[in-house]
Structure formats: structure tokens, C-alpha cells
Structure 1
Amino acid sequence: MKSIRLDLDNQEGMVLIAKALSIDARIEIIRLLYKNSYNINEIAEQLKLPQSSAATHVKVLEEAGLIETELVPASRGSMKICKLSLESIEFLMKTEREEDSEVIHMPIGNYVDYYVEPTCGIVSEKGYIDEEDEPRCFYNPYRTTAKLLWFGKGYVEYRFSNHLLVSRQLKGMEVSMELCSEDHEYNMDYPSDITLWVNGIEAGTWTCPSDFGGRRGKLNPSWWPDKNTQYGILKTWIFKPEGTFIDEEQVNKLPIDAYHLEANGFISVRLGIKEDAKHIGGINLFGSSFGDYHQDIRMKLIF
């Protein structure tokens, strides 16, 4: 399970969670799922609720990201298994502006360099961009409209302007995006070692456990097939004077100054799979209209 932090700039997220926790029955469902996973009939039985009420409460909790559901085969059709997806939530009663920060949003199709091997592809909110499993599709000029891209091996590289660093003292930087592994269709047991480089310097590797599917991503357009990858996990690489972190876990002791963020006219961010990685499981990179999080690649500069 994961933890999340929300500040006052994430008003939509705060409202969703507050709504989800505003009814006693939903808190009881969370308490129940903390110990085990249950289907909706079992939840209704244990909490003495009508099945329709239990299903409604589960839907609200899922929309808020507090629980996850998965359809599994049953004796008659399928049933929805519910499990807790968050271990903790931290509410910060301040905004990014109060922290003196600037945020740059990079569309996932605005990469400046790439090398990919199949399986691979790009889609916009409306449909496929070029032919699937053909690396040349990453050259298609419509790639700038991409909302989901994937590849089995390789990398994509982005360049962020560093003009904000000219007259201000940088204290920290965060780079966040929604990611998962990449297998044909989806595979819940398919780890991948995903690495981030900043200005050519390795900033840490995160091992994603899955190419996630089994339930629809909250933002996915209706035409996207259920059998395909559906959602990822929001991961944040954090750069501080005392070292580099992925979420709250320190991955190396390189301070933010070691990445030479002012050396060029841009900050290079490369995302990929190392050739000698233990788990070469590819990458799905989600944009603002796919997956569970309404964002592209997000760079936050803290002054």
C-alpha cells in the first residue's frame, strides 16, 4: 500500500477524499479491508448493509483512490474483489505558492529523444497514433498529442527550461509521473526496474511490481479496451541538499547540486530501462487523460 500527500492546491483530491470519509459505513468498510480483501457481498454481510448500499459505498471509495477493485472469475460470471490501496493520507494546510515554488507541466508526447523496442505504441485521447509495435511511430508528428505511451525496452528523454533558476536560489526539485510496467495486454505479476536520469546522471531506480489492469483506469476514454493496461502508480523523484529520494525513501546521497541543473539552457530528464537491469519489464507512461491521475510529467522547483 502507498501513502499520499495533498495540499490546498489539490482541491479536487481533498474534496473526493472528504466526501468518501463523510459516512460512517465507508469508514467501517476501510476498517474491514485493512485486515483482508472481500467481495461486495461479503462486505454487505459483515456490516449488515443492503448489497446495493455496499456497492454504492465501494464505488465512492474507489473514485477517491482509497480502495481498489478487481474483477475475478466466479461460479456465475465474475465478482468484484475490494482491497485497501492507501495506508496513510497527509493533508498539508498550505499551497505550493506559500512554499515559494513553480510547477512545470510537460506533455508526455513532447520528448526530444527516444529509443524503444516492442511492445511499443502511442495513443491520444481519441485513438492510436500510427501503428502499434512499430518504433518508428514515435517519430509521428502527432506524438505531441499523446496521452499514453509504452515500450518494452529503451528510454524517452524530455527537456525542461531552467530559466527560473537564473535569479533564484533553488532548494529542491521534484519530478513526478504515473508509471507501470509493460507486458502484452496487462500482467499483474510483471516487475520492471524503471530508472530516471537527470542531465545524464542516474537519479534512482524504482521497481514497479505490475503492468496494472483488471479494473479500468479512472480517466481512460471509453474506447480503450478492458484487456489492456489500465493505470499506474504516481511516483515522485525528490532532489534535496541531503540526497535523492523516490517518494520518501532515499535512493542515493547525491545532493541536488550534483545534477548541475544550471549548466545548460535546459534540464534533461530521461526515463527508461537500463540494459543490465534485473527486471527488464518496460514502461507505461500515463498522461492527463489516462490512468488514475490527471497529470502529465510534473516538475516542481522549490526556492
Structure 2
Amino acid sequence: MNLDITEQSLPVFEALASKVRMKIIHLLAEQPRNVKELAQSLELTSAIMTMHVKKLEKAGIIQSELVSGKGGLQKKCYLVTEKMEVLFPSKERELKKFHETEVSVGHYTDFSIEPTCGIATTDRIIGEFDDPRYFLYPDRMSAKILWFGKGYVEYKLPNFLLGNQDPSELEISLELSSEAPFTNSNWPSDIHFYLNNVVLGKWTSPGDFGDSRGKFTPDWWPSEVNQYGLLKRLRITSDGTYMDGLKISDVSLDDVSIREKQWTFRIAVLEESPNVGGVTLFGTGFGNYNQDIRFRLYYNDSELTKEETEKLS
């Protein structure tokens, strides 16, 4: 989870400003618990515990769902945040030069998927659920959400880096979650990322979220299916690849042939992974973040040698 110093992040800071809520996070890190179990562990009433749970839910730190128990339906809580990174205002970063390309969710150039699966624009479902053939339908270019149980989707995009520009970091940001039948906040999925056929690493999505509607999800979208994902930021630097600030591999810019004129980016759920829980990709008009798959290549200008200048001319 990425935070910044704006009012949008206030619910998270407020949720963490409580010893009780910090204890709740520690308890849920051990295992999911229902409200009654949390209340008993902290010697509080269920009513007070419900208030604390709602604060943590609003902040996106935990998710909950109604499950059947011995005494009927119970509200079970799950920790869904692995780490947080607070981004402070930085003049240096704002002044950094970069090339930006945003690729629409439906603009994939290759795929190989298995159900459950589906694809939709902001206006309608394309074709039918669980039929991979509709991933070839011409209207898929307008798709802003897609999901599949296992397999991959692949995107190609241009690289506008010039000869006198030294790449320092590639940032890829996208909103995604697992893909469960209907929704399930506790549905882990190992999602792998590739750039130019090099494995960058994996991130394990905690679940497929449907406890509340996405901020940008269209009104016609069914309430019983995936509503929103988590905004994740992949950063490839000179010393490795990071997910939301946490290093996930030693793959560097040099390893992925960053100066290639065209990049290939793949998102995959592998059959041999421990957690095969699918993936849902959210684009503009769906989920909580109104963006598609965004690529930013940061660079520094450098002086060209005479030979390099002649090659470019």
C-alpha cells in the first residue's frame, strides 16, 4: 500500500493511531479471526470491537466477510496489507525527467488463459463469462477489466528513450487482485511479472475483494463479483526489482535490456505455483484507482560522444 501526505491517506493514519487497532493487526497477522474472537482476546465488547474493525476496513488494512459458524453467520476479518510506504513530497522526484506510457487493460498482444475468465468494457460484458474465445473479440480493445484463473496476458509497448538519456528506474503501476469464484478476501494468488521475457519476481495477492464497491466501478457492474484491487508499484532499478519498496529480485535494468525499442510485459499465474488463485486487472472506469497499466521510465541526460552523435544523425 502506498500512502502520501494528503487527505486521501488520512483514514490509514487515523486507523493506525490506536493501540487497540495495532493489537488487532498483530492478531490478524497470526490468523483470520471473527469479531467475537478479537473482542475476547482484547477484553472488549463486540460493539466496541466492531467500531475498531470498521476503522481498519475503511483504511483498507483489513477485509471482512460473513461466513457460516456454529452460532450462525459471523464476520470474519483478514489482514490484507503486507506493508506500507509513505511517499513524502520530493522536489527532486518531481523534477526527474521521464517517459510515460499508459497501456489499456484490453490492449494485450498475446494471451493464454483458463477459466474462470472474463472481460468487460465500462458499458458491458464482452461475450460470456468463462469462455476464453472472447479474449479475441474485436471489442476487447475497449476492455477496462479482465480476469482469468491461470495463464498469462502480455502487452507490447514502445520505448521512447533517446541515445543521450541514461535510464535510472522503470516504474510500472497497476491495480490488481486475485480471481475467486464470486469474491473472497482470503484467496491468495502468486502473480508473476516479466519484462522482455525476464522474470522480475512475484507478488502474492491476498484475495479478490468485494466487500464494497470500487470507487470507479460502473453502477451496472454486479455487486457479487470483483469490485476493486490493490495498486501495486513495480520498480526496476540498477540494483534490483522492488514491489512497493520491498525487494523481490536482483533483476536490474541491464538484465531486462531496457534500451530495446520495444518492451514486452507479461502478467502470469503459473500452474506450478503454490497459490494458483487467478488475477483480475482493473483499468480506468473500474476499481479504486482510475488508471490503466502505467509505465514511467526515469532518466538522466548525458553528453553524447562524437561517434554516438554520428550514429543518431
CA distance in 2, matches of 1:275, 1:58: 35
Aligned to 2:60: 65
Consecutive unaligned residues of structure 2, counting only runs of 5 or more, are 28-32, 300-313
Cα distance in 2 for residues equivalent to 1:189 and 1:20: 21
Checking the alignment, whether the CA contact within 8 Å between 2:65 and 2:77 is kept in structure 1 is yes
Q: Which residue in the other structure is 2:306 paired with?
A: none
TM-aligned CA deviation for residue 271 of structure 1: 1.0
| Aligned-partner residue type, residue 255 of structure 1 | S
Determine helix, strand or coil for the equivalent of 1:151.
strand
Q: Does 1:118 align with 2:92?
A: no
- Aligned match of 1:163: 160
2:284 is matched with 288
Structure 1 residue matching 2:242: 3-state secondary structure = strand
Could you say which residue in structure 2 is the equivalent of 1:201? 198
- Corresponding residue for 1:186? 183
> Deviations 1:250-269 (Å, cap 9, x if unpaired)?
333222111112223x2110
SS in 1 for 2:107: coil
SS at match of 2:276: coil
CA distance in 2, matches of 1:5, 1:275: 30
Displacement of 1:174:
1.6
Contact 1:213 1:227 (8 Å CA) reproduced: no
Secondary structure, counterpart of 2:8 in structure 1: helix
User: Could you tell me which residue of structure 2 aligns to residue 213 of structure 1?
Assistant: 209
Partner of 2:133, secondary structure, is helix
Q: Does 1:235 align with 2:235?
A: no
Cα offset, 1:270, TM superposition: 1.0
Question: CA distance change for structure 1 residues 47 and 5 in 2, over 3 Å: closer, same or farther?
Answer: same
SS in 2 for 1:142: helix
Alignment of 1:138 with 2:130, yes or no, is no
Residue 277 of structure 1 pairs with residue 269 of structure 2: no
Distance 1:233 1:19 in 2: 16
Q: CA deviation at 1:137?
A: 0.7
- The 1:201/1:226 distance shift into structure 2, 3 A limit, reads same
Decide whether the 8 Å contact of 1:217 with 1:290 is kept in 2. no
Tell me which residue corresponds to 2:249: 252
Q: Indicate conservation of the 8 Å contact 2:34/2:74, yes or no.
A: no
Equivalent residue letter for 1:270:
R
Structure 1 pair 29–20 and aligned structure 2 pair: CA distance change class (3 A): farther
Letter of the 1:295 partner, please give it: Q
Which one-letter code corresponds to 1:164 in the other structure?
L
Per-residue deviation, residues 4-23 of structure 1 (Å, max 9, x unmatched): 34457xxxxx2222367579
Amino acid at match of 1:148: I
- Greater displacement, 123-132 / 75-84: 75-84
Residues 94, 270 of structure 1: CA spacing in aligned structure 2 closer, same or farther, 3 A cutoff? same
Say which one has the larger Rg.
Answer: 2
Matched-pair contact (CA < 8 Å) for 2:153–2:268: yes
3-state SS of the aligned residue for 1:169? Answer: strand
| Cα deviations by residue, 1:201-221 (Å, 9 ceiling, x for unpaired) | 1111223343x2350243332
Aligned to 1:16: 8
Looking at structure 2, the residues matched to 187 and 19 of structure 1 have their Cα atoms a distance apart, in angstroms, of 23
Could you say if the C-alpha distance between residues 35 and 181 of structure 1 is closer, same or farther in structure 2, counting changes exceeding 3 Å? closer
* SS of corresponding position for 1:284: strand
